[in-house]
Every structure is written in structure tokens, then in C-alpha cells.
């Protein structure tokens, strides 16, 4: 086996297709500004008269508010819930039966339910002065016992986060197919598995600049948001305003990952404040606010039993999954999206005849859990893939063999699995076979037999997942949450000089949409991508969309752009035919011009005609002209299924607990890739986050509900030296349901690494009797387990 | 995360700085590189009335070998040492330690005197310099005094500095030709605070050893006569004689109840001893 550095990009990347269309490996257009530090983020917005806001936040996890004392000199600069007359709390309801509703006041009323909950808003010319005011406000709080352990929170008699519920369960679900038939299986493995609470940590935090335009009677909210149209709907509900009175502008956004899809109480507060005080106001989230109060995710617990035959064939899975949803249901995804999804996606890409999964979304005195890249999939993949390694150990098989025996096969596509997920296409066993070959399991087994001179232990681990993406109306209508995606729209407009403007309601916060959507347009119209402008992130300038989430933008907005460009092309073709004095049936649009037997006319000339020389247009010209808005849905909206097999080799130091990733292979199938370079970037970024989940990131709480990682010195994120130069391999099985056969791939990179790395660590340590079933795998957890195993062996001896 | 209001002074010489500190009556904080104080100010963990910025004091930037020892002004940066811009009497020991402090950006600005004054248990210099047998000169308007590093570091984030006093210089003794050096630490990621540090200066010829276990919740454990750690005597076979049980007992006595934590500390110290013997 070679060391990591020598393995860098050994395999050729897909070369990409020629030109600028779908499949071309183009550098990102937006990088010219982003990489030169010329991006414009919310923090760069400057408005005359702008003042800053700092919040007074609850120092306690659970307390009754007896009083809020503002020093005399600051009255008028401090606002509390009592000032916010007519402002409604944030309500994110699910239509699933039994869901209990939480109301999140934008400023606390009555009691506080998490550390960091907003209690008062302080206004000053600068943030530092606003923080001085916030520091001078004293809270009279009656501390209540806090609920911080989701399993204890489920027990009768627990302290209640929302008293009127009678318990702490947002939602309980149960899904079963014949689990009793699995119970006589010869292999039965039961474990408890958990993933830590994490914090999403985009480079840019949240931020809001709010202002009100009296002439337009319109509130303008600049917000680092990935779903601006949904933010507007949520704001209108809380503020009691018409949607047309609100404009949400989301400029450049420095990473979203789900955090920026959520309607924030801060957004509601600042909207109210600017209307109250008549000048622009700003709040920029700092890193402590981000860690403590805002963007937690991922905290899952599984009690899981896997049944299998001696040959590793799965007979069934029986699982009870609990998710710590925190104190409130966040808008628009609700507090149950994460746990309830677990039930439907736990089987992953595997076939099995029996299945049962109960799920619990539990309220605790922590901040609301939000959907983070991969959402429930990362936890589910961790749980199931760790269990499959235990099945392999019981059966005496290589972990890879157990996967190959149970993965859905290409000849079964399209495939409906046991939870009725509809797999559109793919060859899962081939991805696993390629990953096993690339990581070279045999060579690692040989190296393990030899042992390491430095006392470290080597291990190899694999994992595989499927990523349902861009799922639409038929899936989300059943959830009954405030947002159900329907047709995605795009507007395409030829400018008088032959350029192309595309307006879309999705956003781009690292995805490279300004490049990839231009490539889609080029594929249809042949316009040079340099002449294609993508306009996004502004409710006043773009068609309505639920925005960018769920790995949907390329499938949905890409499809909409293609559809709109086709219609635009058709209109141009008819004008071009007239200019060429041809029958429209005899001309084609090709490479940016309309061609007939006698010659060709460019889109630029056609645009010039429509706008500047209408006297030359055909009599029956489409009066809609060269501006088109079209809606799009895939042929089937149950989602595209991309997937990847990950394989990791690690070296573990059992005495220090240190883990080094020696090699990492990803074999990914994202359908047809619009831009392989962008896809590689998505996978690398996701891998970094997955490594964080596996080895570093954890937001611990003490028994009173105090978050213990309040700076980046305590909350560890992987840096460049912790992320290996992974080797990527692409398969490209087209989706039968989408434009060009594309699939959503935005989240996949973050799903599989925790499972692959944990399996590799366990493979390294299994001969010592060590098994780690909890993320992150920290040095302390490894050494604790090693010492426990040594003690057990001593007492057995 | 903005600091509470404070006054700011940037004195031109050490006497002026000492006068400002004396006049402040203990409500001032000294800033040099600002690599620890900066974040603490922003988090409002410290709210001094006055910040005395000593970065302009040329007399604290000197580094010279004098009388068989290295004298480093408090403002010498980690990068100065890493890059070899200062003289060395430790045969590369200090350079090796400096090169692995945090990240290069921190090393560019962070100073050796600032690191010692901050007395973070996880910092490198308090452990490494204790093992090397270094001492510090502290100065106030009342005059100067000297303390061994192990006497200077009193506890976590706690030094023996009095109000109005400043670390002026660090004195590092010449490392004997026969003295072996080993330094190891365990960090969860590159540049992160260590969760275990082991330092060993072992001279089998002189039958002496100084051993330090650092990055614990209090001041480092400094064993100035470490024979007990090596079965009662220090000789050429010290690597084989290193007794992990004695190290473990030292850690237990220092109040570390968690067996896994002790095991990691002992393992790191063992690495340091092995490195010394290599």
C-alpha cells in the first residue's frame, strides 16, 4: 500500500465533454469575483443611517422570566417581547398525525427554553456599543430543571419543555413490514448507536440588514438565506404583512448547508425594528451565537437489531430511532423532518424482506435541530453501515461481500424498496466493487498481518448510501409542512444585444449555479456562457421557488432553464426564419444561430430585430417575444437517486487514540454531470464535513443545558491537514426522469464518511476487542474503549 | 463578540510601560502579540480599563547569549525562534518546539513572554522551558526578580506576576553536550491546543533528568529530579527503565481521575522519552 501523498488523483478524472454545454469541465464563472475577495455578502451591505443590533440571550437552558431590567439611560434602545405588539411567533407545523405544535416567540415570553434564546434586542450606532447595552440589561430568571438527554426526555415524569403537551415528544411514527418473519434468523446483532449534536459552521454565519422603503411601501430584508421566497412567506406570516410588501434579497452567501434555509427569529425582529425606528438596522451573527444558539444538527440515537442469514443476506431490520429536536420546530422544515425521515431511509440501498422502525422526535432544552447537509442520511448511514460490519464479522465474511450480497441490482431498476422509495437507476454493486478494488482490501489485509513498526493498527472500512434528491410534490405533500415544492420556474430573456438573462428562484451558496445553469442554457441555445447572466437570490427579480435545499437545484432549476430556453429558442427560430425568408419548418437553431439552406442569422440579430426593428418581424410573431417563463417538473417527482461507495484506510494509535486517514476512495454516481469540476468540489467539501462528523465535531452540553463548545477552540472543525487527498471515480447512470439525466448530488459527500471511517477504526481495533458505536470517534473515546477491553481481557484471563 | 470599552496606550519604553501599569492599580492588561488576549477581549472574558501595548518596546526584543545562557526578550516571537533568527543554546530543542506551536499565523505574532504570562496549561513554552531549566526575569517599578519557570507558573492561567509587573526576559541555560532532549504532544488536529504534552531533558552522563507532564488542568507537573521515573537511577538504559506506573501515579496525585486521560499523558511522555533516546 502506498502512503496518502502518492495517491493523489492517481485515477484520471472524467475528461468532461468538449465545449461549454452539459458535461463540460468549466471553471466556475463566479470564482472570478469570489476568489478575489470581491463577493458581496450581507456583511458588505452599507446603507445610510444603518445601526447595529446585539441581542440579550438567555444564559439558562430553562427558566421562567420574572423580569427584564433595562438601565434608565438605555430605555428606548432596548426592545423586548412586550414591544413587539402584533408579531406572531414562528410556527412550523407538520401535517403528520399526532404532531405537537411548538410556538417559538421571536423574543422570549414567559419562559426561555434554550441557552441563547432571544430575550431582548439592543440598538446602537455600532455593534460594540450595542453589546455594551446588552451587557447592561439584567434578567431576573427563575431557573427550572433542564431536559438535555433525549432518551430521558421520553420517560414519563420528565421535566416538560412545553407543559401543555403532557410529554416531550413532537412526533412518534411507526413503520412496519412483517418484522416477525425475521426473528428466526441465525444472525442477530443488536446495538445502540449514536451521533453527536453538531454545528453546521459555514464560513459565513447568518446576517440580516433590514430597511423599509416608504415610497414602495416595502420592507427589504437582506439576509444570508438559501430560500429567500420561503423566508418571505414566513416573514409575512409573522409580521402580518402582504407578501408583496416584503422583498428578500440574499446576496452572495458563504455556505448554507441547511442552516440558511431556516426562518430566524432575528429576521422577524429586525424587520419589525426597522419599521419601528425608521432607519436601516443590521445584525451579523458572530461565531459564539452561531455555536450556542443557532445551527445545531445531527443528534441521533439508534437502538437497532439486524437479522441476517449465515451468508450475510439481510432478513430484516428492527430499529427504534430517537432524534433530539431541541426546543422548537423550525420553519419551514419542522421538528420532525429528521426523525420521521429516518424510518423511510434507514434501509438505504439494500433489499430486505422485513423491516420495522419506530421514531421519536423529542423536545429538549437545546436549540432547534436543523437539517444539515445529508439531513437524516448521515446518521442512518452511520447506524446501518456499522451494523453491517458486525453482521460481516458474525458471518465470517468480508464487509464488502455482505454489501454486494444485499445491494439492489441494476437489473432490478427502477426499484421500489421496502419503504416504497423509488430508485430511478444505478448500479450500486458496481460502485462498491470499484471502491473495493481501488482501496485494495487484499493489500490491507496483508499489511494488517505484518503489523506496524510504530505500534499503530491499520483498518479498512467501506460504506454506501443513496441520496434521494429533488423529490417534489408527491413526497412533501404528505409531510404537511409549510413548504411543498411544485413546478420549478425559470425566466429566460434575450437582451437587445444578444445576451441571455436567466432568472431562477434557487440560490447559489457554493454550488456554482452561475456556471452550471449557464452551461444548460448553452446546451440549448448555444449562447456563450460568458454572455449568460444568472440572476438569483432576490424575491423581486426571480420567479417563486422553494429555493436551494435537498440537492434539488440542478435537477429542478436546471430543468426549468432548459425548458424556458427551448421555448425561447423556438420563438427565435421563427423570427430567424422570417429574416432568412425561409419556411419556419426548414430552419434549425444551432450553435447560437438560426440556419437554413441559404444561410444563417444569429440570435443577436434576431434579438436586435425584436427590440429595435420590429418592422422586420413576421406578422404572426409570438407577442411574448424573447422573454419566457416556464415551469418544470421531472417526469416523476419521487426524486433522483444518486449514490456513492466510500472506502477508507486508517491508522489508529491505540495509546494516544489518534486516527490518521491514509487513503480514501469515493466512487460516485450522480447521473449525467453538468460540470464534473463542480461535482468534484461538492464531493470534496462534503467529505471534509463528513470527516468532521466522524472524528472532530461535537457540541456537548452539561446537565443544566449549558453548551460546552462555545468557541472554535472547543468546537473542532477539520482543517486542510485533516482532509486527505481523496481519489474520486465517477459513474454516470442517467436518471430516466430528468432533463439530460442529471441527478442531485449536493449532499452525498457528507453522508458516507462517518460510517466508512468508523468501520475502518473498528476494523483496526476489533482484534483488541474494541468497538466504537458513537460519533465523533475522539482520542478519549478510543483510549477509554481500549483500556476497557484490556481490563476485560485481564479479568477473563 | 466585541470587547468592552477600554483605554489604550502604546508606551515608548519599558519604564513608561511600568509606570502605566503601576498607575492603573491592577486594572490594566498588557498586550503583545494579542494571540490569547485578543479573543479573550472579544469574548469579554477580560474587561480591563486599560490596554498597555508593549509591542513597540525595543528593549524586549533582544536575544543574546550571555554568560553561558540565552537571554530572550519577552517580545521574541515563536516564529523568530522557529526561523533561527535568535541564537540557540538548546541545540535545536527550542526551535523544534516553536515550529509546532499552533499555526504559523499565530507564531508570527505570538510572543514567548506573552505565552508564559498567559500561563495556558496547554501552551508549549510553559512545559518545554520548565524541562529545559529556564527562568524568567520579572520587572516592576520596584525592581526585578527572577523565578524558575516551574515557580512562575502557579496554575491554570495563573502566573506569579504581581500587579504592575511584567515578564522582561527568559533565560535558557546551555544544554549540555551529553543531555538528550525529547518533546511530544498530542493534538486532535494540526495546530490545535495539545491535550497532552511530555518533555524530557535527560543527561545519562550526569545521571540527571528533568521531566515535565503538561497540558493538564493545572500547572504542569515538573519533576526536576526524575530518577524515580526511571527505576531509581538515570543511566544509558533509561528508555528501557522508564516506569509508566510512576508517571501514572504522578498524574493521579495531580487530580486526574480519568484513566484514559492519564493513559494518553503517560503515552505521550513515553514518546518524549523515546525521542530523547533515539
Residue B43 in contact with partner chain A when CB distance is under 8 A: yes
Nearest CA in chain A to B268: A656
Residues of B with Cβ-Cβ distance to A286 under 8 angstroms: 1
Same CATH topology for A374-470+637-796 and A487-632? yes
Give me the mean pLDDT over the A336-358 stretch: 96
Task: Give the pLDDT of residue A329.
Answer: 96
Q: Shortest CB distance from B260 goes to which of A286, A288, A784?
A: A784
Nearest by Cα to B113 from B129, B131, B91: B129
Residue with cell 524541562: B131
Residues of B with Cβ-Cβ distance to A794 under 8 angstroms: none
Residues of A with Cβ-Cβ distance to B2 under 8 angstroms: 126-128, 131
Residue B186 in contact with partner chain A when CB distance is under 8 A: yes
Using the beta-carbon criterion (under 8 Å), do B189 and A721 form an inter-chain contact? yes
Nearest CA in chain B to A654: B264
CB A11 within 8 A of CB A438: yes
- What proportion of chain A, given as a percentage, has pLDDT over 70? 98
Cα A69 to Cα A61: distance, rounded to the nearest angstrom:
20
Task: Give the pLDDT of residue A479.
Answer: 86
Cell of A172: 412518534
Residue B191 in contact with partner chain A when CB distance is under 8 A: yes
Cα A85 to Cα B33: distance, rounded to the nearest angstrom:
49
> Does residue A10 surpass a pLDDT of 60?
no
DSSP secondary structure code for residue A19 in this structure: S
Give me the mean pLDDT over the B172-187 stretch: 97
Using the beta-carbon criterion (under 8 Å), do B2 and A131 form an inter-chain contact? yes
Q: Shortest CB distance from A656 goes to which of B189, B258, B267?
A: B267
Q: Shortest CB distance from A713 goes to which of B193, B196, B268?
A: B193
Cα B11 to Cα B25: distance, rounded to the nearest angstrom:
17
Cα A291 to Cα A208: distance, rounded to the nearest angstrom:
18
Domain A374-470+637-796 is found in CATH 1.10.3720.10: no
Lowest mean pLDDT among A6-10, A34-38, A308-312, A615-619: A6-10
Residues of B with Cβ-Cβ distance to A778 under 8 angstroms: 188
Task: Give the pLDDT of residue A16.
Answer: 56
Task: Give the pLDDT of residue B153.
Answer: 98
CB A482 within 8 A of CB A562: no
Q: What is the nearest CA distance from A688 to chain B, expressed in angstroms?
A: 13
Using the beta-carbon criterion (under 8 Å), do B188 and A778 form an inter-chain contact? yes
Element (H, E) at A287: helix A287-289
Residues of B with Cβ-Cβ distance to A784 under 8 angstroms: 259-260
Give me the mean pLDDT over the A461-476 stretch: 95
Instruction: Report pLDDT digits (tens) over A53-75.
Output: 999 999 999 999 999 999 999 99
The CATH code that applies to domain A487-632 is 3.30.365.10
Using the beta-carbon criterion (under 8 Å), do A783 and B4 form an inter-chain contact? no
> Does residue A11 surpass a pLDDT of 70?
no
Using the beta-carbon criterion (under 8 Å), do B263 and A711 form an inter-chain contact? no
Instruction: Report pLDDT digits (tens) over A723-760.
Output: 999 999 999 999 999 999 999 999 999 999 999 999 99
Nearest by Cα to A551 from A515, A523, A522, A513: A513
SS (H, E, C) A51-100: EEEEEEECCCCCEEEEEEECCHHHECCEEEHHHCCCCCCEECCCCCCCCC
Q: What is the nearest CA distance from B166 to chain A, expressed in angstroms?
A: 27
Residues of B with Cβ-Cβ distance to A716 under 8 angstroms: 188-189, 192
- Give the confidence band of A6 by pLDDT, cuts at 50, 70, 90: very low
> Does residue A298 surpass a pLDDT of 60?
yes
Residues of A with Cβ-Cβ distance to B100 under 8 angstroms: none
Residues of A with Cβ-Cβ distance to B186 under 8 angstroms: 656, 658, 779
Q: Shortest CB distance from B188 goes to which of A127, A711, A716?
A: A716
Residues of A with Cβ-Cβ distance to B268 under 8 angstroms: 656
Residues of B with Cβ-Cβ distance to A131 under 8 angstroms: 1-2, 4, 44
Which of B260, B269, B272 is the best residue to mutate to test the A interface, defined by the most A CB atoms within 10 Å of its own CB? B260
Nearest CA in chain B to A656: B264
Nearest CA in chain B to A712: B192
DSSP secondary structure code for residue A12 in this structure: P
Residues of A with Cβ-Cβ distance to B192 under 8 angstroms: 713, 716
User: Which residues are CB-contacts of A505 (< 8 A; sequence separation ≥ 6)?
Assistant: A228, A229, A488, A489, A536, A542, A543, A544, A545, A546, A547, A557
- Give the confidence band of A701 by pLDDT, cuts at 50, 70, 90: very high
Using the beta-carbon criterion (under 8 Å), do B188 and A696 form an inter-chain contact? yes
CB A369 within 8 A of CB A331: no
SS (H, E, C) A493-510: EECCCCCEEEEECCCCCC
Task: Give the pLDDT of residue A294.
Answer: 87
Nearest CA in chain A to B197: A656
- Kindly write down the DSSP assignment for every residue of chain B, as one continuous string: --PPP-EEE--SSHHHHHHHHHHHTT-EEEESS-TTHHHHHHTTS---SEEEE-TT-GGGS-EEEETTEEEEETT-BHHHHHTT-S--SSTTHHHHHHHTSS-HHHHHH-BHHHHHHHT-TT-HHHHHHHHTT-EEEEEETTEEEEEEHHHHEEETTEESPPTT-EEEEEEEEPPPTT-EEEEEEEESSTTSPEEEEEEEEEETTTTEEEEEEESSSSS-EEESSGGGGGTT---TTHHHH--HHHHHHHHHHTT---HHHHHHHHHHHHHHHHHHH-
Residue B6 in contact with partner chain A when CB distance is under 8 A: no
End-to-end Cα separation, chain A, in angstroms: 36
Q: Taken in order A68, A69, A71, A76, is the CA torsion positive or negative?
A: positive
- Give the confidence band of B249 by pLDDT, cuts at 50, 70, 90: very high
> Does residue A421 surpass a pLDDT of 50?
yes
Residue B39 in contact with partner chain A when CB distance is under 8 A: yes
Cα A589 to Cα A591: distance, rounded to the nearest angstrom:
7
- Kindly write down the DSSP assignment for every residue of B237-268, as one continuous string: THHHH--HHHHHHHHHHTT---HHHHHHHHHH
Cell of A17: 465533454
Angle between helices B259-277 and A779-796 (to 10 degrees): 100
Compute the count of residue pairs across chains A and B with CB atoms less than 8 Å apart.
64
Nearest by Cα to A685 from A614, A761, A751, A603: A751
In which order are the strands placed within the sheet that holds A111-112? A111-112, A63-69, A138-143
Q: What is the nearest CA distance from A130 to chain B, expressed in angstroms?
A: 9
Which of A43, A55, A127, A131 is the best residue to mutate to test the B interface, defined by the most B CB atoms within 10 Å of its own CB? A131
Q: Shortest CB distance from B43 goes to which of A132, A288, A783?
A: A288
Lowest mean pLDDT among A19-23, A229-233, A478-482, B118-122: A478-482
Using the beta-carbon criterion (under 8 Å), do B186 and A135 form an inter-chain contact? no
The pLDDT mean for chain A works out to 95
> Does residue A13 surpass a pLDDT of 60?
no
Nearest CA in chain B to A786: B260
> CA-based angle A69:A74:A79, to the nearest 5?
65
Residue B260 in contact with partner chain A when CB distance is under 8 A: yes
Q: What is the nearest CA distance from B4 to chain A, expressed in angstroms?
A: 6
Domains by residue range for chain B, with CATH: 7-52 (3.30.43), 60-173 (3.30.465.10), 180-277 (3.30.390.50)
Instruction: Report pLDDT digits (tens) over A85-115.
Output: 999 999 999 999 999 999 999 999 999 999 9
Q: Would you list the domain boundaries of chain A? A: 374-470+637-796, 487-632
Structure ipTM over 0.90, yes or no? yes
Instruction: Report pLDDT digits (tens) over A650-697.
Output: 999 999 999 999 999 999 999 999 999 999 999 999 999 999 999 999
Amino acid at each position: 500500500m502506498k502512503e496518502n501523498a502518492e495517491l493523489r488523483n492517481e485515477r484520471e478524472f472524467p475528461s468532461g465533454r468538449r465545449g461549454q454545454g452539459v458535461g463540460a469541465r468549466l471553471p466556475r464563472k463566479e470564482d472570478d469575483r469570489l476568489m478575489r475577495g470581491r463577493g458581496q455578502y450581507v456583511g458588505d451591505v452599507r446603507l445610510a443611517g444603518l445601526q447595529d443590533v446585539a441581542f440579550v440571550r438567555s444564559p439558562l437552558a430553562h427558566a421562567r422570566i420574572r423580569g427584564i431590567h433595562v438601565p434608565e439611560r438605555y430605555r428606548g434602545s432596548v426592545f423586548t417581547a412586550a414591544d413587539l405588539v402584533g408579531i406572531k411567533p414562528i410556527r412550523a407545523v407538520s401535517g403528520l398525525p399526532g404532531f405537537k405544535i411548538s410556538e417559538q416567540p421571536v423574543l422570549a415570553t414567559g419562559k426561555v427554553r434554550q441557552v441563547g434564546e432571544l430575550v431582548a434586542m439592543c440598538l446602537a450606532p455600532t455593534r460594540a456599543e450595542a453589546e455594551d447595552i446588552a451587557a447592561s440589561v439584567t434578567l431576573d430568571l427563575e431557573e427550572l430543571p433542564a431536559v438535555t438527554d433525549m432518551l430521558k426526555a421520553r420517560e414519563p415524569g420528565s421535566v416538560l419543555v412545553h407543559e401543555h403537551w403532557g410529554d416531550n415528544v413532537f412526533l412518534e411514527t411507526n413503520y412496519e413490514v412483517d418484522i416477525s418473519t425475521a426473528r428466526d434468523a441465525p444472525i442477530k446483532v443488536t446495538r445502540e448507536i449514536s451521533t453527536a449534536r453538531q454545528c453546521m459552521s459555514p464560513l459565513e454565519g447568518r446576517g440580516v440588514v433590514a430597511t423599509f422603503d416608504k415610497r414602495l411601501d416595502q420592507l427589504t430584508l437582506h439576509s444570508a438565506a438559501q430560500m429567500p421566497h420561503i423566508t418571505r412567506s414566513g416573514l409575512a406570516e409573522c409580521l402580518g404583512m402582504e407578501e408583496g410588501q416584503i422583498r428578500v434579497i440574499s446576496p452572495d452567501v458563504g455556505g448554507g448547508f441547511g442552516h440558511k434555509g431556516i426562518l430566524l427569529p432575528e429576521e422577524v425582529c429586525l424587520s419589525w425594528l426597522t419599521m419601528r425606528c425608521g432607519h436601516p438596522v443590521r445584525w451579523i451573527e458572530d461565531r459564539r451565537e452561531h455555536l450556542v444558539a443557532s445551527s445545531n444538527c445531527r443528534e441521533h440515537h439508534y437502538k437497532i437489531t439486524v437479522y441476517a442469514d449465515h451468508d450475510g443476506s439481510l432478513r430484516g431490520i428492527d430499529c427504534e430511532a430517537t432524534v433530539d429536536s431541541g426546543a422548537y420546530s423550525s420553519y419551514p422544515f419542522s421538528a420532525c423532518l429528521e426523525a420521521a425521515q429516518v424510518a423511510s431511509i434507514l434501509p438505504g440501498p439494500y433489499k430486505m424482506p422485513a423491516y420495522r422502525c419506530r421514531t421519536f422526535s423529542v423536545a429538549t432544552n437545546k436549540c432547534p435541530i436543523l437539517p444539515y447537509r445529508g439531513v437524516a442520511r448521515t446518521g442512518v448511514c452511520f447506524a446501518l453501515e456499522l451494523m453491517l460490519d458486525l453482521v460481516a464479522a458474525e458471518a465470517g465474511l468480508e464487509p464488502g461481500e455482505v454489501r454486494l450480497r444485499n445491494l439492489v441490482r441494476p437489473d432490478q431498476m427502477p426499484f421500489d424498496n421496502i419503504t416504497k422509495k423509488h430508485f430511478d437507476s444505478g448500479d450500486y454493486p458496481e460502485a462498491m466493487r470499484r471502491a473495493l478494488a481501488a482501496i485494495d482490501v487484499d493489500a490491507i489485509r496483508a499489511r494488517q498481518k505484518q503489523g506496524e513498526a510504530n505500534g499503530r493498527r491499520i483498518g479498512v472500512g467501506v460504506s454506501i448510501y443513496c441520496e434521494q434528491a429533488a423529490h417534489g410534490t408527491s413526497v412533501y405533500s404528505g409531510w404537511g409542512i409549510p413548504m411543498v415544492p411544485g413546478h420549478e420556474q425559470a425566466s429566460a430573456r434575450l437582451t437587445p444585444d444578444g445576451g441571455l438573462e436567466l432568472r431562477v428562484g434557487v440560490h447559489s451558496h457554493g454550488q456554482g449555479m452561475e456556471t452550471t445553469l449557464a452551461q444548460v442554457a448553452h446546451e440549448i441555445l448555444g449562447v456563450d456562457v460568458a454572455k449568460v447572466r444568472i440572476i438569483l437570490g432576490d424575491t423581486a427579480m426571480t420567479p417563486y421557488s422553494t429555493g436551494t435545499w435537498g440537492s434539488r437545484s440542478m435537477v429542478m432549476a436546471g430543468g426549468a432553464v432548459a425548458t424556458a430556453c427551448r421555448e425561447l429558442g423556438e420563438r427565435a427560430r421563427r423570427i430567424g426564419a422570417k429574416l432568412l425568408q425561409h419556411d419556419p419548418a426548414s430552419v434549425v437553431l444551432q450553435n447560437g444561430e438560426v440556419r437554413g439552406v441559404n444561410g444563417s442569422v444569429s440570435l443577436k440579430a434576431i434579438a436586435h430585430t425584436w427590440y429595435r426593428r420590429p418592422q422586420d418581424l413576421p406578422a404572426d410573431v409570438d407577442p411574448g417575444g424573447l422573454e419566457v417563463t416556464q415551469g418544470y417538473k421531472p417526469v416523476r417527482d419521487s426524486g433522483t437517486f444518486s449514490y456513492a461507495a466510500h472506502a477508507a484506510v486508517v491508522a489508529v494509535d491505540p495509546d494516544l487514540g489518534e486516527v490518521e486517514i491514509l487513503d480514501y476512495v469515493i466512487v460516485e454516481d450522480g447521473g449525467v454531470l453538468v460540470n464534473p469540476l463542480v461535482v468534484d468540489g461538492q464531493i470534496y467539501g462534503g467529505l471534509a464535513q463528513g470527516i468532521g462528523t466522524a472524528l472532530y465535531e461535537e457540541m456537548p452540553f452539561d446537565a443544566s443545558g449549558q453548551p460546552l463548545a462555545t468557541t472554535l477552540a472547543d468546537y473542532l472543525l477539520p482543517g486542510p491537514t485533516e482532509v486527505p487527498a481523496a481519489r474520486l471515480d465517477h459513474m454516470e447512470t442517467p436518471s430516466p426522469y430528468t432533463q439530460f439525466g442529471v441527478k442531485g448530488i449536493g449532499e452525498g459527500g457528507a453522508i458516507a464518511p462517518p460510517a466508512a471511517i468508523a468501520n475502518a477504526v473498528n476494523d483496526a481495533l476489533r482484534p483488541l476487542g474494541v468497538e466504537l458505536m458513537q460519533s465523533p470517534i475522539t482520542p478519549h473515546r478510543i483510549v477509554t474503549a481500549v483500556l476497557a477491553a484490556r481490563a476485560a481481557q485481564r479479568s477473563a484471563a | 463578540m466585541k470587547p468592552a470599552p477600554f483605554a489604550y496606550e502604546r508606551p515608548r519604553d519599558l519604564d513608561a510601560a511600568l509606570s502605566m501599569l503601576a498607575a492603573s492599580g491592577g486594572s490594566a492588561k498588557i498586550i503583545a502579540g494579542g494571540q490569547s488576549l485578543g479573543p479573550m477581549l472579544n469574548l469579554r472574558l477580560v474587561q480591563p480599563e486599560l490596554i498597555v501595548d508593549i509591542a513597540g518596546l525595543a528593549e524586549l526584543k533582544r536575544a543574546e547569549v550571555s554568560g553561558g545562557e540565552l537571554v530572550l526578550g519577552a517580545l521574541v516571537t515563536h516564529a523568530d525562534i522557529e526561523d533561527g533568527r535568535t541564537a540557540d543554546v538548546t541545540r535545536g530543542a527550542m526551535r523544534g518546539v516553536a515550529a509546532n506551536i499552533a499555526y504559523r499565523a499565530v507564531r508570527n505574532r505570538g510572543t514567548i513572554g506573552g505565552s508564559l504570562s498567559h500561563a495556558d496549561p496547554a501552551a508549549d513554552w510553559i512545559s518545554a522551558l520548565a524541562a529545559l531549566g529556564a527562568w524568567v526575569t520579572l520587572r516592576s517599578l520596584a525592581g526585578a526578580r527572577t523565578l524558575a519557570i516551574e515557580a512562575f507558573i502557579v496554575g491554570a492561567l495563573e502566573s506569579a506576576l504581581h500587579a504592575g509587573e511584567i515578564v522582561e526576559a527568559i533565560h535558557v541555560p546551555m544544554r549540555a553536550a551529553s543531555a538528550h532532549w525529547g518533546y511530544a504532544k498530542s493534538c486532535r488536529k494540526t495546530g490545535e491546543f495539545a491535550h497532552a504534552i511530555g518533555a524530557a531533558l535527560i543527561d545519562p552522563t550526569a545521571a540527571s533528568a528533568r521531566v515535565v507532564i503538561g497540558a493538564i488542568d493545572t500547572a504542569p507537573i515538573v519533576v526536576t529530579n526524575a530518577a524515580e521515573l526511571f527505576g531509581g537511577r538515570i543511566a544509558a538504559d533509561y528508555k528501557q527503565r522508564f516506569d509508566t506506573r510512576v508517571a501514572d501515579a504522578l498524574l493521579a496525585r495531580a487530580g486526574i481521575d480519568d484513566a484514559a486521560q492519564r493513559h494518553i499523558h503517560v503515552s505521550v511522555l513515553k514518546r518524549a522519552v523515546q525521542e530523547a533516546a533515539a
